[in-house]
Amino acid sequence: MDILFLSGGKIMTFTETTFRKTVKQRLKELFESKTLGVAFQNITNGRMIGKSISEGGDVDVLYSLKGEVIYVDYNENIGTKIDSIKESLKKSYNGKDISPSSDKSQRIKLENFKNAPKSERDVVNFRVLRSGARTPTAIQEHGSAFVLSVALKTNSAYKGIDLGKNHIALESNTYVYEGLQKIFTPAYEDRLKDWTYTYYQQQKVFLKKYEDSRWSEFEYGNNSFVKFFEEHIKNIYVTFGSSNPDRPAKTLGKYEQWNPADIYAAYNMSVIKKELDEIIKGKENTKGINLFRLNQYLIKLLQDKRLVGISLKKIKQGDNAELILRNIDSDSYMDPKVETKQYKMSDIIFDIDGIHDENKKTVSTYVKFGDGYQIDVKGSSSKFNNLAFGTLVKAKSAAQGGNAPINLVIRLMRRNGSDMSFTNDNSKYPRTDDEYYDPPSSYFKRDNYKTWFNILKKHFKNKSVSFRDFDNYIGALYEDGDGAIAQSKLMQLHFYYDSLKQNRLGVDYWLKILYLGMKVGKIFAPHAKIY
């Protein structure tokens, strides 16, 4: 059976193999079993039937664009049942975990026999949908790509479809709205109207700067430039290294640590991909390319209006979208709205009482730059994970600025003193009360936590709290089975201690972390940001 999907205005198909049918049937059996029975949506010809999460169901099942991934989105309250389903699938189909388990998703590769051909291997991605969770990023971005493609076609020479003067007119356009409905699927259809204003504003501001119908259709999925760069990431070097073993070559790591672009506008996509393929691999097809040289080439492509990477943010109802170019010259290596604030240390608020507040099982602390910007230092409440450093633009709509690459945050810390001992490695911090009170030799010690706490205490709003209080609180968290929360708090204590112990780092240090999260600077890819 061929399943149909709409991508960037085009109908795409994939074949539902015998194996995929078997997996789907097995999922159905597990969902409907007496012991695990949950309300879910089944897949029929690319559409969903049954009771969706948005209608009070427990599980939604979706296919990726080309069908190689089956997404199982589930409510957080059935996590235990889902764990049983995962194990059953792995047992039935020689399944293996192919990504670290997180508090949000877990990917499992299935094979119906050893050495199975690619066509008989599939991935099931289990994604928890927490209460009040937002529309999945993939759906948001796919919707943007579709509307922008339609807008480009209808603008200028081609006059087939009128998007109208506002988002209401966009919603009234049958072709556009039905296309968006297919992208959102019934599982998220109730959230579609929450995004039409954003989509209208995005296409409006993009066309204002890049009014031309000759752009290639926006691609989302396996044919996109995001996928292209992800496949070439191993050939992009921050440094090539040397014969000195202490100076090994450093590759870029992950696409999102370098490039915030979600989708790309391109002229003659195949030609540009060929050019980039050659320049990234090098003349001998083995050398790769230096990151800064690649960025310079991408700057030229952007300035010539041949390739524009676009970072997309949701637009608050009633606000107008703005488009700015970032990382193309000295002026755009900084954010003018940040710089005009001229922040001093006295403007920065450290909202970090969550480290010790026994009334909250929070795993987040905040560095606030007046009422405009914010760094969120986040742990995990359910898994033993490393810290993440998110950024937030608070001034209007609290738009996410992105996460700062951890390795660059650590590098920034190391540059400011050899006595910086913080490591974003949760294996160095206790997971049980026994490890907390009697840590292995490789772990930080309880005396360390006492020192860090007493030095950091002056930054707490509640200055009456003692280390004894904190010590008892952490011990109780471990005893109650909240080891991940306790560990996150200890890691945050360490980070803030190193960052604040002598107040020597100053406002520039915190601004640099903010910029790392916003992907602003020479090390990051040039792009257009619509926000």
Contact (CB, 8 A) for 124 and 110: yes
Among 5, 45, 38, 4, CA closest to 21: 45
pTM over 0.75: no
Token pair of 505 as six digits = 């780092």
The amino acid that residue 81 corresponds to is K
Q: Which CATH number fits domain 2-133: 3.40.640, 3.30.460, 1.20.58, 3.90.1150?
A: 3.30.460
419 Rama class: left (phi>0) / alpha (psi -120 to 50) / beta: alpha
CA distance 245 to 360: 47
Among the residues of 64-128, which ranges form H helices? 79-92
Give the side-chain half-sphere CA count within 13 A for 234: 3
- Dihedral over Cα of 516, 521, 523, 527: its sign: positive
Residues 6+ apart with CB under 8 A from 259: 229, 309, 519, 524, 525, 527
By CB atoms closer than 10 A (0-12, 13-18, 19+), residue 247 is: exposed
Give the side-chain half-sphere CA count within 13 A for 226: 21
Low-confidence ranges of the chain (pLDDT < 50): 1-14, 43-50, 54-55, 131-132, 156-160, 398
Token pair of 308 as six digits = 């524009």
Token pair of 160 as six digits = 């087939």
The one-character DSSP state at 460 is: S
The one-character DSSP state at 40 is: B
Tell me which H or E stretch contains 351: strand 348-351
Tell me which H or E stretch contains 3: strand 2-7
Hey, where are the domains in the chain? 2-133, 225-337+525-530, 351-518
* Cα 210 to chain centroid, rounded: 27
Residues 6+ apart with CB under 8 A from 157: 213
- Dihedral over Cα of 449, 455, 460, 465: its sign: positive
pLDDT at 5: 39
Structure confidence by residue, pLDDT tens digits, 98-132? 765 555 678 888 887 666 666 667 788 887 765 44
- 59 vs 38, 100, 308, CA distance in Å? 7, 22, 37
| 128 phi and psi angles, rounded to 5 deg | -75, 135
pLDDT at 201: 92
CA distance 394 to 373: 5
pLDDT at 526: 95
| 502 phi and psi angles, rounded to 5 deg | -125, 5
* Cα 410 to chain centroid, rounded: 20
pLDDT at 2: 44
Among the residues of 259-357, which ranges form H helices? 269-281, 291-303, 336-339
Contact (CB, 8 A) for 417 and 339: no
By CB atoms closer than 10 A (0-12, 13-18, 19+), residue 368 is: middle
The amino acid that residue 232 corresponds to is H
The one-character DSSP state at 135 is: P
Token pair of 500 as six digits = 């604040």
pLDDT at 222: 75
pLDDT at 64: 62
